[in-house]
Structure 1
Amino acid sequence: MKNFFSILTIALFLVSCAKKEADLIVINSNTYTVNSNFENAEAFAVKNGKFIAVGTNKEIQDKFTSKNTVDAEKKAIVPGLIDAHCHFYRMGLQQQKVSLEGTKSYDEVLQKLVDFQKEKNTNFITGRGWDQNDWQLKEFPTKEKLDELFPDIPVAITRVDGHALLVNQTAIDLSGITKDTPVSGGEIIVENGKMTGVLIDAAMDFIKFPPTSKKEAIQGLLDAQKICFSYGLTTVDDAGISKNTIDLIDSLQQTNDLKMRVYAMVSGDNQKEIDYFINKGIIKTEKLNVRSFKIYGDGALGSRGAAMRTPYSDRENHFGALIYSPERYQEIAKQIAASDYQMNTHAIGDSANTWMLKTYKEVLKNAKNRRWRIEHAQIVSKEDFTHFDNILPSVQPTHATSDMYWAKDRIGPERMKGAYAFKDLLNKYEKIALGTDFPVEKVNPFLTFYAATIRKDTNNYPEKGFQMENALTREETLKGMTIWAAYANFEEEEKGSIEVGKFADFVILNQDIMKVKDSKIPKTKVVATFLNGEKVF
């Protein structure tokens, strides 16, 4: 009998030794792997920041042991979410300025400015987030009340979309502009012979904001990371940032203070920076990927800066405008096409989409796998959808549910047929990248999921959904927020799904977004966010 127990002890020891040591094991989960077959799994193991096995509880527990085992208690797990178009750095800086998001009137905006100045006592008041389309009087504000409240302190507050700026007279005086200052690619709005204080697109560049200190920049990035991790985002595509910001991101990632993965779209506003990065070549680490340029094609629909082929329905003889000349877009596109870089162009209006698609096609000459992107692809003419056969659409579903109340009045019923047409775009390219454009919209990716699939606001409006022929399925939407977004970044081999060899980025949710009732989707919460197998939220 003694020999029997000795043999049993040895056998158990050998079995234990046969198991491989993992850094993390997750069991009892409802994991959506988002692999090629969109399979579910119960468990997975992580080693050195990557998935090393995915399968059933028995398969994983028979092969691996770990000092760190997470029992998911049947909760849904999805790959780390990717926001394919956002303004990560800008949102972080906004945390240190007055927030005007959700204001329901100009008077509420003014009160927030007054309260902010009492607390901060700054030398230059800046903020962002007002949207006149959310007010009862859906017209641009004017500066008279700003001048009364702040006669000696410059004020410059940006519209929610970043394409319009309201300034007071002190800020105007500092800039040196007048109502007659020429503007290309924008507008100084004048009424009754006087400046209203509203500047559109390129005209905004006349206002010189106080420089951001390095301390403020670092804090902004860390604040943005904290917010994004709380929503399950593990990769962000920061659309339009400078070399200095990219260098700062890289340095913070190297010290592991910034863990967020960043797909950096270099701002194409500066020719010197275009030249620098093209000469430098692609920059790629596990956390940073610099291989694209963000170019502005036009402005925004909300501020009537989007370039349209025929006049706006609610403003006679007004077409919006391209930011640059057609010749300039050709120059930029040809230079980028001759490199390994990707070109990602903001195009809202049908005219901007027409021109950029035409330009892409001409310079790429049917080149394969360039994955050039149209960012927003918001209003597309019927005949232009065919051009998305090798041009990747990158859209933000919450734009549809934010704009649906007034967009038809702005562009008319005929053009609405090609507006926010996510399914039509997906059918042409067979993939679609989804993002939020935060801080233009809220960071919350579950609002993205809801807007893409259900196409309603959180008050259940409209009852039957907004243009439901262009709704995406839940599977398509999750792919657009994971594997297809990774593909848009040339990163599908390393992230976007829970598969062996990929980064162990995943999110545990409090409910199954693939199965819960429609109305419950926006209420989804993140239980935990893991990056490289490390719990970061």
Structure 2
Amino acid sequence: MKKPLLAILLLAAACKPKKEYNADLLIKNAVVYTVDSTFSTANAFVVSNGKIQAVGNIDSLEDKYVAREVIDAQGKAVYPGFIDAHAHFMEYGLGLQYANLVGLKSWQATLDTVKNYATHRTEGWIVGWGWDQNTWANKAFPNKAKLDSLFPVRPVILNRVDGHAAIANEAALNIAGVKPGQKIIGGAIETINGKLTGILVDNAVGIVTRKIPTPTEPMIQAALLDAQKNCFAVGLTTIDDCGVPYQLINVIAQLQHKGDLKMRLYLMLADQPENYDYLFKRGAYKTPGLNVRAFKVYADGALGSRGACLLKPYTDQPKWNGFLLSQKTHFEEVAKKIAEHGFQMATHAIGDSANRVILKIYAENLKGKNDKRWRIEHAQIISPEDVKLFGDYNIIPSVQPTHATSDMAWAIKRLGADRLKTAYAYKNLLKQNGWIPLGTDFPVENINPMYTFYAAVERKDLKGQPDGGFQMENALDRQEALRGMTIWAAKANFEEKEKGSIEPGKFADFVILDQDIMKARGSELPKIKVLKTFVNGVKVYEKK
């Protein structure tokens, strides 16, 4: 009797219908912040072929879809993949290969770090990144004397955290042919008592860095992949890489085609003739993972190195206004040709004078209301009478909230109380067009978008200071901050129809966090961690 029974069971198993999958992934038991037009929430969504197929209630979705993989979010919050609207992705990756000087509290600590780095990298140039004299007890620029004694022959250049100043040793200066008293448009070569101090500001930095051997393609590939790994770990799925050479397009495209580079990138080509020639002849470049349709222009330098161009002198240096990095005619010429060819212009402008110059040049080319989405990157210090130009000509202020909380301790010394009051005015800028993209400017700031969110809504540093927040009238609410890191950042890139929210038809780029940033206490926001990051519905990071 056993054999006939076994045969019956085997026959029944063979006749049982196989599951017919009609979806790749089902996320359920989640608090899904869709960031759609009504900022609705759901508890489940379905992914097929790398895109969101349906969003809604788990009961109705399970009735309709059978997914190959099901993830129970166990009540955790899910958000669209975070988008950094202003960063330096390749530069950050290359910086991971350099001496890390971020957060060091003195010039001596900086020297010690460089000395230790040199014992591991024994040949070639020594390059460092991240020192900031504003965080030292002695807030003056350092002098190269000790650097010369440590490295009398080997060239060294150490970049300030904002990328707008550097200190080079004598060996590096000699290679570049830098002389005491030398002048350069849009830059400064510090000379005291007829001797070089090693300090270079803005365009002067390039005199030296152009002598550093160009990174090889394998080095660039390694840098991109190293950067990707760290960015996925903090929930970033798209990054705007600002000011890159056109040659990077093919390197990125090849890595993405191979499947090694999954990060989506929006490239802004640097303000160089060869980049204009390339893109004007070829036209915009667009794939699901790569978008190239913009140019990054620099109007002035940074406030921390006193390179920002101000309408009135610096409060702590009364005879100094900073400077534009090029003649005004240069900005007029590039704006005209960018407009004629239908591309996006994105201009770094920190000081109120630089912002005024660029806003007026934009106005001449945009000629009223438009949807060209030309951007001012940083828009830190705006004269009150100029703010309305953002709305009058639909100019997009692309801001980085952590700049406000990093700068606030010393910015008042540069600007004075009255001028500071209208600086870092994100809420006021938001009102001009009704939306505002947010970024970090990494590696100038930390890559973590949780810090962006925290700085935007709490206006405090990581120590929780100041108690009441910094100029809270310009804080964003949590919904605005999340939109700024997702759908509004996508809109700044003309990509709001394909990413930035969890809606049917859009890329399945999303993150699961260990706490809900819409409900967590303000003090907890910078501590929130990413549990999982997905691109195209495929997991690219999971917290161990």
Category of TM-score, reference length = shorter chain: over 0.9
Partner of 2:457: 453
**Offset from partner CA, 1:401-435 (integer Å, 9 cap, x none):** 00000001101111112200000000111110000
Q: Is the 8 A contact 1:281 1:340 kept in 2?
A: no
Q: 2:504 aligns with which of 494, 497, 500?
A: 500
Displacement of 1:71 after TM fit? 0.3
Instruction: Count how many residue pairs are aligned between Structure 1 and Structure 2.
Output: 525
Q: Which deviates the most, 447-456 or 185-194?
A: 185-194
Measured in 1, the distance between the counterparts of 2:141 and 2:468 equals 31
Displacement of 1:180 after TM fit? 2.6
Measured in 1, the distance between the counterparts of 2:360 and 2:95 equals 36
Measured in 2, the distance between the counterparts of 1:256 and 1:353 equals 40
Measured in 2, the distance between the counterparts of 1:459 and 1:137 equals 21
Partner of 1:488: 492
Measured in 1, the distance between the counterparts of 2:440 and 2:274 equals 29
Displacement of 1:322 after TM fit? 0.6
Measured in 1, the distance between the counterparts of 2:127 and 2:78 equals 40
Question: Secondary structure at 1:433's aligned position in 2?
Answer: coil
Measured in 2, the distance between the counterparts of 1:306 and 1:395 equals 16
Q: Is the 8 A contact 2:316 2:414 kept in 1?
A: yes
Q: 1:289 aligns with which of 291, 295, 313?
A: 291
Displacement of 1:195 after TM fit? 1.1
Measured in 1, the distance between the counterparts of 2:161 and 2:126 equals 16
Q: 2:350 aligns with which of 348, 351, 361?
A: 348
Measured in 1, the distance between the counterparts of 2:248 and 2:96 equals 17
Displacement of 1:275 after TM fit? 2.2
Q: 2:224 aligns with which of 197, 209, 221?
A: 221
Q: Which deviates the most, 355-364 or 172-181?
A: 172-181
Measured in 2, the distance between the counterparts of 1:287 and 1:62 equals 33
The one-letter code matched in structure 2 to 1:256 is G
Correspondence list, 1:337-486, <5 A: 337-366=339-368, 368-389=370-391, 390-486=394-490
**Offset from partner CA, 1:124-156 (integer Å, 9 cap, x none):** 100100000010101100100001111111100
Correspondence list, 1:254-293, <5 A: 254-268=257-271, 270-293=272-295
Q: Which deviates the most, 393-402 or 243-252?
A: 243-252
Measured in 2, the distance between the counterparts of 1:384 and 1:122 equals 50
Measured in 1, the distance between the counterparts of 2:500 and 2:151 equals 49
The one-letter code matched in structure 1 to 2:218 is K
Measured in 2, the distance between the counterparts of 1:271 and 1:138 equals 38
Could you list the runs of 5+ residues in structure 1 that have no partner in the other structure? Answer: 1-8
Displacement of 1:13 after TM fit? 8.0
The one-letter code matched in structure 1 to 2:513 is L
Partner of 2:319: 317
Q: TM-score, normalised by structure 1?
A: 0.96
Could you list the runs of 5+ residues in structure 2 that have no partner in the other structure? Answer: 1-11
Question: Secondary structure at 2:387's aligned position in 1?
Answer: helix
Instruction: Provide the identity percentage.
Output: 52
**Offset from partner CA, 1:142-197 (integer Å, 9 cap, x none):** 10000111111110010000000100001011111102322000100112221110
Partner of 1:171: 172
Measured in 2, the distance between the counterparts of 1:460 and 1:237 equals 29
Measured in 1, the distance between the counterparts of 2:521 and 2:69 equals 34
Displacement of 1:120 after TM fit? 1.6
Q: TM-score, normalised by structure 2?
A: 0.95
Q: Is the 8 A contact 2:299 2:324 kept in 1?
A: yes
Measured in 1, the distance between the counterparts of 2:137 and 2:224 equals 35
What do you get for the CA RMSD once the two structures are aligned?
A: 1.4
Question: Secondary structure at 2:318's aligned position in 1?
Answer: coil
Measured in 1, the distance between the counterparts of 2:327 and 2:71 equals 56
| Pairing 1:188–2:189 present | yes
Q: Is the 8 A contact 2:157 2:172 kept in 1?
A: yes
Misfit runs of 4+, over 6 Å = none
